[in-house]
Structure 1
């Protein structure tokens, strides 16, 4: 073990499963054997220790393991197996072996049999069970969350010659489907029920009314009921009460009063009728009427609806009338119509649902100590879950021990609460141990418990273990929450385990589980970066098959991925699909796709096909044609661009200025200078070219290194009264200097001043750089200088050129030279580098001072900044200082230039 026990330290934020929006944070220390220890665990497990030591006789009746000693709980990580084992034995008490065998047989899916039904029939027949209504109801209630196997068992029972389904068994199945929110399946069953009318051995119309009422289709239920009455048929007691209850639940109080009158006329009125009426009064807010109704039944114990008293308690607590609820409990207890066990249970449930868990807990403690009251498992569960939400683990621990001591058989909710308790207590080894053996005692972990375990494994770095757990769980039919799925997928992507991510995503999609958008987006992006764009496209197709529209960014990742992989045909297909989904591709994305198509072998057919498809989607839009012309230009395919331009003319679209500009650029970028000039002349014949056309022509010719043509177009622009843009002058001056045509450059600079164009940083920096190289610029400036017409700004610029050419001494301070240059044009980082380079020739100390001044003003030094200082220090023989600066330069990630490396 590491000497530092807190070397691996985690913050785990956990949302309590079963409760809404509750979080709890612990600092958990992990040992090499993954034992989770926290100083918050010991206070809670000390209660467990007390239970095992002081109640060993009762615990032996429940647990097969020997009592756990106090020393183990003082360090719960020392033997988590024993703690997990004791709870595992308690969980086993919830299993019914006969029912377990039934559901095990129902789960068999053999490929060798003619059909799975044959295996089920043969296996269930071997159990020699006697079917009765009560037995079928117990089996359906045993695993009511296992909907599929409940349906199989119900079907098998209905096919046995000695058993007929009853209203009660059908009602139980409907409740199972309703509880699982499978109303569509219930409606399908009812539709099939109608079609096979002659095969039923139970009351046909009763089942239709009951089924539609339970699915909250009360309008259809009333319609069927009306037809029954028209034909002289009638509902039985159960059917009437289910219809009445559904009408009350849907707020159809007038209709419910009519049905209530029918129940009373037929003598069906009983405690269920009274209970539904109390529910109706409470839903309408008539609490006093509900109380009087109950008091009126107090003398008739046989019809007193105990559960309706609980409904009234819930309503009172939700309205904050707690003291009144307490008074009613004592009142009805004294009447002798409400047993203490039920009264206390109702009150605990109502208090918890109203958020009064502290009051409920103290009430339970008082009743247990004074009157020996022991709640049922449902009351325990509801209180435990509320306390878990409030992170009151001490009280949760006490209640769990009370349940074990009282030998209360736990259900699935209790088991999940135990897992939640150990999660919050930081005892993850116990949680993992119980989770791995869940099949042994029939535990179905709640989704958020599973999610917490998965999140913990991912945070612990056990990515492969989390992957296997998820894969196994999905094979069993359980899918995690989208957030957990995303966490695992993200962790696998970071580890580069893309095949595993692909497996779980495809596995989930094939079962119609759609992960969060961020999960598959990250994965598709990772696949595209890893040059596995085809795999990303498979996931995209699967999402489309499930009618799940991928996001706009997903399309962008795939299109760019196919573009880089030179699969431009697929990129074009996705571009069209993207627009059909309602997304608008960016201009850049569109141009990339067209550019990629133009670079294909024999792209003409694909290029025109994409253009036709695009026009079919968006119509004849000039912007679309512009995209294609621009893409063709980027690929240096002016012929394709001209084809699109001519197509516009053929279909009657008059090109606008933007179309002309794009076509002109297409020619210039493709190096078709003669065609560009001819096209420019054609624009002039059609009318006066605008400023943008002139500017683009000048800049394009400069980039094609056609200085004479560019200067000629510049003169034409001035003759037409157009002031060229600053960018035109920058490109022309740059081209002049690269061709050593200093006189033309100086004339352009002076012309800028005449037309009111200020010297930009780019032009100024170009002057500084060329002045440092030689004095040709200074000579040209002197030749073309006119002292009689020289402006102060021009004189200042000439002085700067003289200084950097070496004709004026610059041994002064850095601030003076900086101020001189700043008077001519705005300074940027490149300007400071040039000034520093000039200072480093004769005064390296001033260059270093300027470096600090530059940093103080917010300019970030780059490779050239450091290289100037290092080079200057070496040239001045200050080797030690130069090495320090060179080390700093390397730490910043910059490598010295070849000229500087000579000195190192």
Structure 2
């Protein structure tokens, strides 16, 4: 039955001169039959050609894995703009008519947009090679407007197009995206190679692949890409080779650096000055002093004279390793080979001398540098100031500071820190404060860590008011106090029972987003025990509810009991332990013994007995000292001696 229906449909198609006029009829009848009997509708429909249909070249079916398959060849009867087989032509035509602008692209191809897959994207990109702007706009339209994820092949095609057009910045951006996407370099490399059959390409694209992986910190994948390039017979550039070398150096893979250098020589990649400077850093990491002269001679043999950067790298490495003899040997060699030392050279040598407590020699070298026409910078002055501060010669350090300022150089953070720490070691906090004021007059921004350092030092010197004044000046200047500085201020105020100032600082901490810790609460509670037991209990509850401390904190309990025992009238506090001990359920014998020693000395027999009955319910058993004191008092009471010791 259905065969007759299909034959009738065929006759109907050929009977009409323009079959598109009966498109509703075809849609409602013929396509329904195809859906019901897909296997019976297997005749060679592709041989049917309507007089008004597009050329047969547009009827080829695209094999794509991610696009939705065409339901049937009946799409040839659809209007030209609705035919999925014309998708690539429609997109390319729209891009051409709009000068590469893809803004109206969605509206033009919305009927066939579901058929857009990675294969179609690649075809569009390949046909836009002569217009890199159109290719780039289309690629971005797919990524951002459609929200599709282009395949690795799509990325490689657009990269080839952009590199061929010398759009290196944008092409490197796309390669970095692939590298950040954790796509293995071997996969990207194979796709780049396969795309060369359909794209114009420049060998520099493979160098950029190596650099992209090194740039994102994946040196291992960059090295793999380098080896694959060599395998196919291409010669990576010295720039790409240096990128791998530098990446291996930063990863502290010293042995592989030398292997990489040997591989460069094997395949014929010529070295340059950057190569040797990188290897100089490798040599410093290696620590083999015997290789230095050999390495410098090899540089000269290959036509590269070691420059000042090479020598400075080696000298700085020797100075950091306290090998001053080797450093000064290279310093003398520089003059013999016609490479005059620069400011970096002298600064490194002065730092090395000061590190070995040879400040006098460093200062002589400083004057020698000036006599040779070099103007010292802030780093050079800091190296000498550091040496004098380390020796405690603050007067000479201050003279250098004044000399630096008078020469027009602005002190930096290192200068401030060196001088303030030097004054602190000498116990001259007032001089530190005067220096802060002088630096502020000069317009130097004082870092918060220097302010906090001084605040802590003043608190340790039992000067909380001066510390708080400096602290508030820091806040007014836009600085931020750290938790250590706040705690030092609170502890210092609590030592002098200035509880209002201490609590104000605790509130300020909360406003600044700093959470008080156990040290904060311990200081405040200990102080309140001396001033107001009720407030101490409330603050203890706050601490526990905030999850900062626990109910069995031995330090806090000891503070509670010690402060009570040192009270003027101990007998007035004999009824308090129960209300306090309900917060603390675990007490060590040592703490109990010390407390009992103080309590039993002044309490009467009746008070001691009452205290015993209050301690037992909270889990504290009287110690031997307690019973010894009780027996002594009873003996004294029986013999007629005074009850109180």
Aligned counterparts, 1:585-734, within 5 A: 586=553, 589=556, 634=573, 636=575, 700=606, 729-734=631-636
Determine helix, strand or coil for the equivalent of 2:385. Answer: helix
Show CA shifts across 1:141-168 (max 9, x none).
Answer: xxxxxxxxxxxxxxxxxxxxxxxxxxxx
Q: State the secondary structure of the residue aligned to 2:255.
A: coil
Deviation at 1:220, TM superposition (A): 5.1
The CA RMSD measured in Å over matched residues stands at: 5.4
Deviations 1:460-490 (A, max 9, x none): 66533422433676884432657x8446644
Q: Does 1:561 align with 2:531?
A: no
Unaligned runs of 5+ in 1: 1-201, 598-630, 646-655, 659-697, 705-723, 741-765, 771-829, 831-904
Query: Residue 577 of structure 1 is aligned with which of 534, 543, 550?
Result: 543
Supply the distance in 2 between the matched residues of 1:530 and 1:288 (Cα, whole angstroms). 65
* Residue pair 1:450, 1:480 contacting (<8 A) in 2 also: no
Distance 1:203 1:476, change over 3 A: farther
> What is the rounded CA distance, in whole Å, between the counterparts of 2:210 and 2:289 in structure 1?
32
Is it true that 1:443 corresponds to 2:443 in the alignment? no
- Paired residues of 1:423 and 1:431 also in contact (CA < 8 A): yes
Distance 1:413 1:725, change over 3 A: closer
| Structure 1 pair 453–235 and aligned structure 2 pair: CA distance change class (3 A) | farther
- In structure 2, the CA distance between the partners of 1:538 and 1:291, relative to structure 1 (3 Å rule), is same
Give 1:257's aligned residue.
224
With structure 2 as the length reference, what TM-score do the two structures score?
0.51
CA distance in 2, matches of 1:342, 1:587: 60
**Other structure's SS at 1:408 match:** coil
User: Does residue 289 in structure 1 map to residue 259 in structure 2?
Assistant: yes
Could you say which residue in structure 1 is the equivalent of 2:497? 531
Q: Distance in 1 between matches of 2:203 and 2:505?
A: 54
Q: Which residue of 1 aligns with 2:595?
A: none
Render the CA deviation track for 1:185-204: whole Å, top value 9, x for unaligned.
Answer: xxxxxxxxxxxxxxxxx998
Match of 1:362 in 2: 329
Residue of structure 2 aligned with 1:337, choices 279, 304, 307: 304
C-alpha distance in structure 2 between counterparts of 1:349 and 1:461, whole Å? 33
Question: Structure 2: where are the runs of 5+ without partners?
Answer: 1-166, 565-569, 588-603, 611-625
Mapped partners of 2:493, 2:412: distance in 1: 33
User: Which of the residues 731, 735, 745 maps onto 2:637?
Assistant: 735
Partner of 2:180: 219
> Residues of 1 paired with 2:349 and 2:216: CA distance?
26
Decide whether aligned partners of structure 1 residues 422 and 582 sit closer, same or farther in structure 2, where only a CA change above 3 A counts: closer
- Residues in 1 aligned to 2:454 and 2:467: alpha-carbon distance in whole angstroms: 11
**Would the aligned equivalents of 2:420 and 2:432 in 1 still touch at CA under 8 Å?**
yes
Q: Alignment partner for residue 325 of structure 1, among 271, 279, 292?
A: 292
Tell me: CA distance 1:355–1:207, structure 2 relative to 1, closer, same or farther (3 Å).
Answer: farther
Q: Decide whether the 8 Å contact of 1:463 with 1:491 is kept in 2.
A: yes
**Alpha-carbon distance change, 393 to 434 in structure 1, aligned in 2, over 3 angstroms:** closer
- Say if 2:446 is the partner of 1:478: yes
Structure 1 residues 421-454: Cα deviation after superposition (integer angstroms, max 9, x where no partner): 454576534532453564963434343x423422
Q: List aligned pairs for 1:324-473, cutoff 5 A.
A: 324-339=291-306, 341=308, 344-352=311-319, 355-368=322-335, 370-423=336-389, 428-435=394-401, 438=405, 441-447=408-414, 449-458=415-424, 462-470=428-436
TM superposition shift of 1:382: 3.0
Q: Is the 8 A contact 1:533 1:562 kept in 2?
A: yes
TM-score by length of 1: 0.38
Kindly state the Cα deviation for residue 572 of structure 1 after the two structures are TM-superposed: 0.9
1:276 aligns to what? Answer: 243
Deviation at 1:333, TM superposition (A): 0.8
1:523 deviation in Å? 2.8
Q: CA 1:380–1:236 in structure 2 vs 1: closer, same or farther (change >3 Å)?
A: farther
- 1:417 CA drift (Å): 1.8
**Structure 1 residues 555-564 or 584-593, which shifts more?**
584-593
Distance 1:306 1:435 in 2: 38
Mapping 1:34-183, distance limit 5 Å = none
Q: Is the 8 A contact 2:413 2:447 kept in 1?
A: no
SS at match of 1:286: helix
**Per the alignment, do residues 328 and 222 of structure 1 end up closer, same or farther by CA in structure 2, a change over 3 Å counting?**
same
Tell me how far 1:312 sits from its aligned partner: 2.0
